Structure 1
Amino acid sequence: MKKNIVGKLTVTLTCATILFTLTACGKKADKADDTSDKGVTTVTVATGNASLPFAYLNEDNQYDGLDVKLMEAVDKALPEYKFKFIGGDFPTTLSNLESGKAMIASFQFEVNDERKQKFTYGTVPYTDWDTFIVTNGDKGKALDSFDELKGKKVYVTTGTNQAAMAENYLKAHKDAFTLVYGEYTNEQIVEAIKSGAVDATLAPKYSNDLYVKNYGVNFVIGKTPVNKSKAYILFNKKADEKLQKAVNDEMAKLKEDGTILKLSKKYLGGDYVPKG
């Protein structure tokens, strides 16, 4: 009887020991998995999904464009972070950033007072964004100032700096010209100007260069910009300072080593990188 009790006790203890060992091994494995992911933070980046050549979905339904590839280059150099993109039109990108759905936004953002209040700007400008008046050269001469737009219809993309600067001019010069708002593609902008639906748009030099190159139009710009500016990324106001520094530092390196220039030539067709 005693032998049976001892035998049963031995088996029980052995099984318990095996169970404990397996459980312990299992816990170590779980911990190892956690450790492999430890220190890697997923960061959502808001960008466009239909804005060639800056941010769009390509034929493989993958995010592409200058702004996207720039963020991917930053992400590649920062193993402690993993970037995930969320797309939308220009206003949606800003609302995604403001709401906290994203901590970074990359979509050719210029500096203006309203955005400075809501967001934190990156420290590295990566695209020249001097704004010119774009018109159809077949229908008239190039224009150099807002004063010359009197009585005309001007297309602006909703929520952009170009819309804001035109609105500010109209505050002091009521009804000088009419603004037509939208989320047009490059092709739609070209067609609107060609057809006369609008007389002009506000855009940087490289946008007009693309209109001429890709659509064979005779669009022209003035000799001087109506506004001098540059594009930056934006951070949510609550974005971690360590993240901000890491991204800003890496963007400075990418500008220095020529990566941003390569992206500019690939997607914009030339050197549109700010020198400063």
Structure 2
Amino acid sequence: MFGSKKIATIGAVLLTSVFALGSLAACGGSASATNGSGVQEIKIATGNDGKPFCYMNEAGDLDGYDVAVIKAVGDKLSKYYKFTFETSDFPTTLSNLSSGKAQIAAYEYEINAERKAKFVYGTVGMTKWDTLIVSDPKNGKVYQTFDELKGKKVYVTTATNQAAMAEAYLKKNPNAFTLVYGTYTNEQIVQGLTSGAYDATLAPQYSLDLWNDSFKKGLEGSKKAVNKSSSYILFNKSADKTLMKRVNTAMKQLKDDGTFEKLSQQYYGADYVPED
């Protein structure tokens, strides 16, 4: 489950199988290689259990919104690149990108100072990520602010922006509430909320909708977002500037032609594409 790695490949066609990938020659500190046709191989770090963003579907294929976006980019850039996916849990995707095992990472990354110092953000927003405080009203109340969480337990996925914003609040308000860290699946997050293992979590509207639709629960979110943002892909700082430009341009085209909205409807059930 968590931490396992599978490698899937795409080029100009859709992903058809998961296979073992041999080692690639390092080029300027990045994981890339060029085949005889001049097409460069680029590794993409993503998740394997982060539905609906990036996960293994029932057929055993890598799937999800972020994966589908990158596949569409790969289709557009197949003249230059062949993308391969390196899958892991959320924190490991950042480690893989930082170490040079991947040149690009796609797993709903919001902007924060720590990541900006280590990586280069893509220029095209992928998903609205306005964060709500989510709880099960059967276990108490619907929390509207961080101040209302005093003395409570709050689950956050390790290394996420939600963890960072909660940590920032605790620096100013020591011991206000307790953070429960993990890399839980959607089902595990919901189970924790409904069982009372923790009192609340931080999540966007589409996650709340997904949890209630999938598990038939009456979870509720705060009326107002505690943080407004969007998600982006990340590039390794040593990634080729031409690669960055081509990928950003392709993503802008896919957003403008409605592909992002179509994929958002497919994977989220609604249009959560940001305007930026």
TM over 0.5, shorter chain: yes
**Alpha-carbon distance between aligned partners in 2 of 1:271 and 1:108, rounded to the nearest angstrom:** 16
**Alpha-carbon distance between aligned partners in 2 of 1:262 and 1:140, rounded to the nearest angstrom:** 38
**Counterpart secondary structure, 2:138:** coil
Q: Paired residue for 1:178? A: 178
**Alpha-carbon distance between aligned partners in 2 of 1:201 and 1:148, rounded to the nearest angstrom:** 13
1:262, CA displacement in angstroms? 0.9
How many residues align? The count is 242
Q: Paired residue for 1:211? A: 211
Please state if 1:237 is matched with 2:227. no
Are the aligned partners of 2:139 and 2:194 in contact in 1 as well (CA < 8 Å)? no
Q: Paired residue for 1:16? A: none
**Alpha-carbon distance between aligned partners in 2 of 1:141 and 1:221, rounded to the nearest angstrom:** 10
Q: Paired residue for 1:38? A: 37
**Alpha-carbon distance between aligned partners in 2 of 1:161 and 1:216, rounded to the nearest angstrom:** 27
Q: Percent identity?
A: 58
Are the aligned partners of 2:122 and 2:233 in contact in 1 as well (CA < 8 Å)? yes
1:36, CA displacement in angstroms? 8.3
**Alpha-carbon distance between aligned partners in 2 of 1:57 and 1:202, rounded to the nearest angstrom:** 24
**Counterpart secondary structure, 1:37:** coil
Q: Which runs of 5+ in 2 are unaligned?
A: 1-33
1:58, CA displacement in angstroms? 1.6
1:39, CA displacement in angstroms? 2.3
**Alpha-carbon distance between aligned partners in 2 of 1:168 and 1:37, rounded to the nearest angstrom:** 50
Write the mapping of 1:122-271 to structure 2, written as runs, cut at 5 A.
Answer: 122-271=122-271
AA of the residue aligned to 1:160:
T
Q: Paired residue for 1:9? A: none
Are the aligned partners of 2:122 and 2:234 in contact in 1 as well (CA < 8 Å)? yes
**Alpha-carbon distance between aligned partners in 2 of 1:138 and 1:256, rounded to the nearest angstrom:** 42
**Counterpart secondary structure, 2:139:** coil
C-alpha distance after superposition, 1:63-86 (max 9, x if no partner) = 110011100000001121000000
1:200, CA displacement in angstroms? 0.4
Q: Paired residue for 2:85? A: 85
**Counterpart secondary structure, 1:235:** strand
AA of the residue aligned to 1:231:
S
**Larger Rg belongs to:** 1
Please state if 1:47 is matched with 2:58. no
Write the mapping of 1:95-106 to structure 2, written as runs, cut at 5 A.
Answer: 95-106=95-106
1:270, CA displacement in angstroms? 0.5
Normalising to structure 2: TM-score of the pair?
0.86
1:140, CA displacement in angstroms? 3.5
C-alpha distance after superposition, 1:15-52 (max 9, x if no partner) = xxxxxxxxxxxxxxxxxxxx983320000000001111
**Alpha-carbon distance between aligned partners in 1 of 2:180 and 2:45, rounded to the nearest angstrom:** 26
**Alpha-carbon distance between aligned partners in 2 of 1:38 and 1:242, rounded to the nearest angstrom:** 18
C-alpha distance after superposition, 1:91-135 (max 9, x if no partner) = 100000000000000000000000000000000001000111001
Are the aligned partners of 2:139 and 2:196 in contact in 1 as well (CA < 8 Å)? no
C-alpha distance after superposition, 1:209-267 (max 9, x if no partner) = 11111111111111111111100000000000100000000000110011011111111
AA of the residue aligned to 1:271:
D
**Alpha-carbon distance between aligned partners in 1 of 2:217 and 2:99, rounded to the nearest angstrom:** 40
AA of the residue aligned to 2:52:
P
AA of the residue aligned to 2:142:
A
**Counterpart secondary structure, 2:144:** coil
Are the aligned partners of 2:156 and 2:202 in contact in 1 as well (CA < 8 Å)? yes
**Alpha-carbon distance between aligned partners in 2 of 1:91 and 1:128, rounded to the nearest angstrom:** 21
Q: Cα gap change, 1:36/1:155 in structure 2, threshold over 3 Å: closer, same or farther?
A: closer
**Alpha-carbon distance between aligned partners in 1 of 2:162 and 2:131, rounded to the nearest angstrom:** 7
Normalising to structure 1: TM-score of the pair?
0.86
Q: Cα gap change, 1:208/1:36 in structure 2, threshold over 3 Å: closer, same or farther?
A: closer
Are the aligned partners of 2:126 and 2:230 in contact in 1 as well (CA < 8 Å)? yes
Worse overlay, 100-109 or 262-271: 262-271
Q: Paired residue for 1:29? A: none
**RMSD of aligned residue pairs (Cα, Å):** 1.2
**Alpha-carbon distance between aligned partners in 1 of 2:139 and 2:59, rounded to the nearest angstrom:** 39
